[in-house]
Amino acid sequence: MKRLLVLLMVLIVAAGAFATGSSEGGAAQRVVAYTAHEDNIIADMTARFTAETGIEIEFIKLGSGDVINRAVAEANNPQADVIWSIGGEALEANNSILEPYTPKEWNQIADVFKVGTNWLPYTGIMNVFIVNTEMIPANLTPLTWKDLADPRLKGLISSARADRSGSSYMQLANVLAVYGEQEGWQVYDSILANFVLSTSSGAVPRFVNDGEAAVGITLEDNAQRFVLGGGPVKIVYPEDGTVAAPDGIALLKGAPHPDAAKAFIDWCLSRSTQDFLVDAMGRRSVRVDGTTPPGLPPLSDINTVAYDFEWAAGNRDRFLERWTQKSMELGL
């Protein structure tokens, strides 16, 4: 009888431990992400992550501005665990809703990309011009930000809306960082007058590739995809300076599934995943042991300028208010 009671107690304890483990394991087997990634990358990444870790990932695809707005609105009751791939300015401006986290291989992340408060670098991005070589003669190729103000380019430059796109806001801040606010706004206003605005940053290089625009301001990896696709386009790195900076990934404060979220962040910053992003997107790795995307020049060959995320984030509302006023004046 005593042996039977002992056996029953062991079984009860084991069952309790199993139930607790199942509950915690069940919670850890799911992560919810808000993302501005492109659909094909989301599909590839989520499939790879689940296959390699056994953790399911639920994603909600939104524009960069909508990602941060939703996360801020839900800050008192978070519905997601991770913000995945949006501009660092929005993350820096709202870093109070983010939970600090040091990933497992933090020592492998390049110091130049360690610029965020409570958010982490995800991939290296850069502003470029994509130029349709059939529409723009070689001798008229815009080589600087100021060249985009050429009256011959009126209505021929595609850009996303700075109030809807993190990358487009970074382009605005890029001009101000190069020239300072006083001259920078004069330069940017003259460029803005030539814009045809799009609600989608991903559509900008496609418009140029398809001949609907002659020039686009976009991210390096977006442009390179069309170059490699054989389109009549080329990439121009602004000679007066372009920002090289990371977009971000972050753990939300109060995340419902923090352990799974941390596992996802660690996986995103691993060598194998960063290598995948280099191959699949042409994004630059944020790791010190990362490689340069095929066909692109090393950073040392490009005139890069320092990008102060705190400055860009701290002035975001003011800059966007002015951008909105000027775009309305121009009827954009």
The number of beta carbons lying within 10 Å of the beta carbon of residue 170 is: 26
Q: Residue 294's pLDDT is what?
A: 85
Distant-in-sequence, close-in-space partners of 158: CB < 8 Å, separation ≥ 6 = 195, 196, 198, 203, 204, 207, 208, 212, 213, 215, 216, 217
CA distances from 190 to 151, 184, 186, 203, 282 (A): 9, 10, 6, 23, 31
**pLDDT on residue 199:** 83
Model pLDDT, residue 310: 87
Contacts of 127 (CB under 8 A, 6+ apart): 167, 170, 171, 174, 217, 218, 219, 220, 238, 242, 243
Over residues 14-43, the mean pLDDT reads 65
How confident is the model over 201-257, as pLDDT tens digits? 889 999 999 999 999 999 998 999 899 999 999 999 999 999 888 999 999 999 999
Answering whether pTM is above 0.85, one says no
Using CA atoms, how far apart are residues 165 and 178, in angstroms rounded to an integer? 20
Band of pLDDT at residue 8, cut at 50, 70 and 90: very low
Alpha-carbon distance of 258 to 313, in angstroms, equals 26
Contact criterion met (CB below 8 Å) for 31 and 263:
yes
Residues sharing a CB contact under 8 Å with residue 213, sequence separation 6 or more, in sequence order: 132, 156, 157, 158, 196, 204, 207
Q: What is the pLDDT of residues 118-144, one digit of tens each?
A: 999 999 988 999 999 999 999 999 999
Show Cβ contacts of residue 233 under 8 Å, excluding neighbours closer than 6 positions: 130, 131, 132, 133, 205, 208, 209, 223, 226, 227
List residues bridging with 56 in a β-sheet.
30
pLDDT bin (cut points 50, 70, 90) of residue 14 is: very low
Show the tokens assigned to 167.
Answer: 């990358």
* Closest alpha carbon to 32 in 247, 254, 259, 261: 261
Residue 1 has pLDDT above 70, yes or no: no
Q: List all residues 6 or more positions away from 189 whose beta carbon is below 8 Å from its beta carbon.
A: 326
Q: Tokens 């409570």 correspond to what residue? A: 118
**Measuring CA to CA, which residue among 270, 316, 304 is closest to residue 125?**
304
Instruction: State the Cα–Cα distance between residues 308 and 311, nearest whole angstrom.
Output: 5
Kind of pairing between the strands at 157-160 and 195-198? parallel
Under a CB-based contact definition with an 8 Å cutoff, are residues 128 and 171 in contact? Answer: no
pLDDT cut 90: percent of the chain above it: 70
Concatenate the DSSP letters of all residues of 227-278 into one string.
HHTT-SEEEE--TT-EEEEEEEEEEETT-SSHHHHHHHHHHHTSHHHHHHHH
Kindly give the pairing relationship between strand 242-252 and strand 120-132: antiparallel
The whole-angstrom separation of Cα 100 and Cα 153 is 45
